[in-house]
Amino acid sequence: MRILGLSALDTDATACLWNEGQWSAMGEERLSRVKQHAGFPRRAIHELLRRAKVELGAIDAVVYPFMPWWVEGRRMAGGYLRDLPFALTNGDPLGQKLRHLKEYAKWCVRAVHYHRNYHRELMSGLRELGLLRKLHRIDHHHAHAAAAHLTSGFESSLAVTLDWYGGGLSGSVNRCTPKGIERLRSFRYPHSTGLFYAQVTKALGFKPSRHEGKIVGLAAYGDPKLLGERVLARWVRGNGDLRYRSGMDASFVQQLAKENTREDVAAAYQHALEVIVTELVEWWIAKTGIGNVTLAGGVAANVKMNQRIAAGKGVERVFIHPDMGDGGTGTGAVLAYLMERQPVRSEEWRTCFLGPAYSEAEMEAALRKAGLDPIRAEKGLRSVAEKLHEGKVVARFGGAMEYGPRALGNRSILYPAKDPTVNDWLNKRLARSEFMPFAPVTLAEHAAARYVGYERFRTAARFMTITCDCTELMRKESPAAVHVDGTARPQVVTREENADYYEILRHYHELSGIPTLVNTSFNMHEEPIVCSPEDAVRAFLLGNLDYLSMGPFLVPFREEAGRRAEQAEKEKPMPRPVDAVA
């Protein structure tokens, strides 16, 4: 059976292909070069099918994680009516209640409009491909739950899904066993942790649905005690449920942002999110007796929240689907579709390297076109490690591209983790404004000595989806990868998963005595991670990086080529902006 999975078109449109048990996947943004590309992933579909040598006529089903727009519209209207009793009796001032209801009504109209547009775009795209009659729709949060549980390797799990909005809901709790996925609790919009966190992101001057990670990093610099209780009071919680008081009225956070430092506001919202969700998870663990927790939905991108969950009462292990946001709903929809037709066992997700790989000839052509000599690394991968040991910044391009939002070594920028100033000067080179430190990548056999409680989140750490406390050894030898609060967001690498990446790190360990490097995504600010050799060469030159490790080649930066790349960039037309659906 061959199944094409399409993620929600509203943001980060992604296509995946289940081809007789083999997965491949990629986001449209990697080909369009428009970050968080919204719309029908036409390029990604064609690229996946071309590389898999699968004809359009051989596709048995197309699955999509939203209902038709009129069904979504009815759910939104129904949600508004169901919210009225709570909205009018929640104890907030009358003005706040009225603003909430007014903004909620406006949101419903706007959201229906977006859903109708994306519905039409989906129909048009599938009709063009001759696949419209093969379309099957999957409930949005069921797709999230399937992605979380069925890629965890846990026989049974408590799947918690949390996002801004999806299918009338903003979250769910699910009992997952070999018998299937049972919905235990639904959280109806607007009682949304995603909305809650998006509001503080916007109030502090960042872009919601894009820059929430900056708030996570910023929070470590503030004091959650100053405002934490006031923010927590916006929620009515208990008995495994969540309700957000006057959630559509953003005036509360806007006023906080005017009167307090952004660090303290960020700290309060991060603290509140961690408390709310950890309490929720602990309640359902006590209720069900299931200690394995699996997470998906955009809120599960909050790595500090995930750490707090992992440390919660009754939690045995935690797993977060690597593409936890809407980009992963196509994968979840495929798994849910399969589960409807046959028993599907939960199996540990073996790799995120599901995107395109490029030949040596294609790499060489891209280098020559940019005026760079395709110099082969004299000692192979050891040459890359030697440059790193000398303190050089090395951009690595090799193998298949990663699935999901994290760079996991094949489209990464590497640097020694010894220099704590790297977060300032390398971010400036890449035109980034970040508050989180760069993430570390560590050899698996050395991880337990550097990350506290490693076994509890071992699988999650393969995909850089959780933070953890660092040991004294880690803080001492790799300060560049440790945040001010003593945590890090690690990637742990094995030879089996990525032999070349592992070998670079192993050689570096032999040279330096340190089994850790800094790993940050290979891209310029506000751009998608690089996909093709041409993308990689461009980002390498614009970032003024020291070396490009591309397949067998190890190429130094050349100022003349860099100047040409900068000039070409000035002459390039601006990309089409992506509208935010929610």
Whether residue 344 lies inside any domain: the answer is: no
Is residue 368 domain-shared with residue 272, that is, in the same domain?
A: no
Is residue 408 domain-shared with residue 551, that is, in the same domain?
A: yes
Q: Are 394 and 535 in contact (CB under 8 A)?
A: no
38-82, pLDDT tens digit by residue?
A: 999 999 999 999 999 999 999 999 999 999 999 999 999 999 999
Q: Name the nearest CA neighbour of 200 among 91, 273, 97.
A: 273
Q: Does the structure show a pLDDT above 80 at 414?
A: yes
Mean of the pLDDT values across residues 452-479?
96
Q: Does the structure show a pLDDT above 70 at 579?
A: no
3 state SS of 547:
strand
- What confidence category does residue 561 fall into, taking pLDDT thresholds of 50, 70 and 90? confident
**Residues 409, 395: Cα–Cα separation, whole Å:** 10
Can you read off the two tokens belonging to residue 300?
């599960």
Whether residue 100 lies inside any domain: the answer is: no
Is residue 313 domain-shared with residue 432, that is, in the same domain?
A: no
Domain count, the chain: 2
Whether residue 401 lies inside any domain: the answer is: yes
- What confidence category does residue 432 fall into, taking pLDDT thresholds of 50, 70 and 90? confident
> 56 vs 14, 61, 556, CA distance in Å?
17, 10, 42
Is residue 233 domain-shared with residue 309, that is, in the same domain?
A: yes
Q: Are 387 and 547 in contact (CB under 8 A)?
A: yes
Is residue 492 domain-shared with residue 396, that is, in the same domain?
A: yes
123-165, pLDDT tens digit by residue?
A: 999 999 999 999 999 999 999 999 999 999 999 999 999 999 9
For 117-131, give the secondary structure using H, E and C.
Answer: HHHHHHHHHHHHHCC
Mean of the pLDDT values across residues 292-302?
98
Q: Are 133 and 152 in contact (CB under 8 A)?
A: no
Residues 112-130 as b/e (b if ≥16 CB within 10 A, e otherwise) read bebbebbbebbeebbeebe
pLDDT of res. 577: 46
Mean of the pLDDT values across residues 474-481?
97
Whether residue 509 lies inside any domain: the answer is: yes
Is residue 561 domain-shared with residue 451, that is, in the same domain?
A: yes
Lowest mean pLDDT among 278-287, 294-303, 417-426, 463-472: 417-426
> Do β-strands 292-296 and 317-320 pair in parallel, antiparallel, or remain unpaired?
parallel
Location of structure tokens 């900068």: 566
Is residue 317 domain-shared with residue 374, that is, in the same domain?
A: no
Is residue 447 domain-shared with residue 525, that is, in the same domain?
A: yes
Task: Identify the CATH number of the domain in which residue 295 sits.
Answer: 3.30.420.40
Whether residue 130 lies inside any domain: the answer is: no
Whether residue 554 lies inside any domain: the answer is: yes
String of DSSP letters for 270-290: HHHHHHHHHHHHHHHHHHH--
The CA-to-CA distance between both ends of the chain, in Å, stands at 35
Whether residue 536 lies inside any domain: the answer is: yes
Whether residue 339 lies inside any domain: the answer is: no
338-374, pLDDT tens digit by residue?
A: 999 999 999 999 899 999 999 999 999 999 999 999 9
Going 507 to 465 to 344 to 155, the CA torsion angle's sign is: positive
3 state SS of 543:
coil
pLDDT of res. 157: 98
- Final residue in a domain of this structure, among 294, 322, 350: 322
**Residues 216, 311: Cα–Cα separation, whole Å:** 18
Task: Identify the CATH number of the domain in which residue 488 sits.
Answer: 3.90.870.20
3 state SS of 389:
helix
Q: Does the structure show a pLDDT above 60 at 575?
A: no
Is residue 168 domain-shared with residue 266, that is, in the same domain?
A: yes
pLDDT of res. 574: 64
Is residue 387 domain-shared with residue 238, that is, in the same domain?
A: no
Q: Does the structure show a pLDDT above 90 at 427?
A: no
Can you read off the two tokens belonging to residue 474?
């880690």
Is residue 386 domain-shared with residue 276, that is, in the same domain?
A: no
Residue 304 sits in which domain range? 152-322
Mean of the pLDDT values across residues 305-316?
97
Location of structure tokens 């300032």: 424
Q: Name the nearest CA neighbour of 299 among 228, 209, 220, 214.
A: 209
- Final residue in a domain of this structure, among 274, 303, 322: 322
2-36, pLDDT tens digit by residue?
A: 999 999 999 999 999 999 999 999 999 999 999 99
Name the percent of the chain lying above pLDDT 90. 91
- Final residue in a domain of this structure, among 274, 301, 322: 322
DSSP state of 212: H
Q: Does the structure show a pLDDT above 50 at 334?
A: yes
Can you read off the two tokens belonging to residue 575?
């990309």
pLDDT of res. 576: 54
CA atoms within 13 A of residue 183's CA, in its CB half-sphere? 13
Q: Are 437 and 470 in contact (CB under 8 A)?
A: no
Mean of the pLDDT values across residues 551-557?
97
Quote the distance between the C-alpha of residue 100 and its chain's center. 29
Name the percent of the chain lying above pLDDT 70. 98
Is residue 181 domain-shared with residue 243, that is, in the same domain?
A: yes
Q: Are 520 and 407 in contact (CB under 8 A)?
A: yes
- What confidence category does residue 171 fall into, taking pLDDT thresholds of 50, 70 and 90? very high
> 379 vs 168, 376, 422, CA distance in Å?
56, 9, 27
**Residues 122, 118: Cα–Cα separation, whole Å:** 6
Rounded to the nearest integer, the mean pLDDT of the chain is: 95
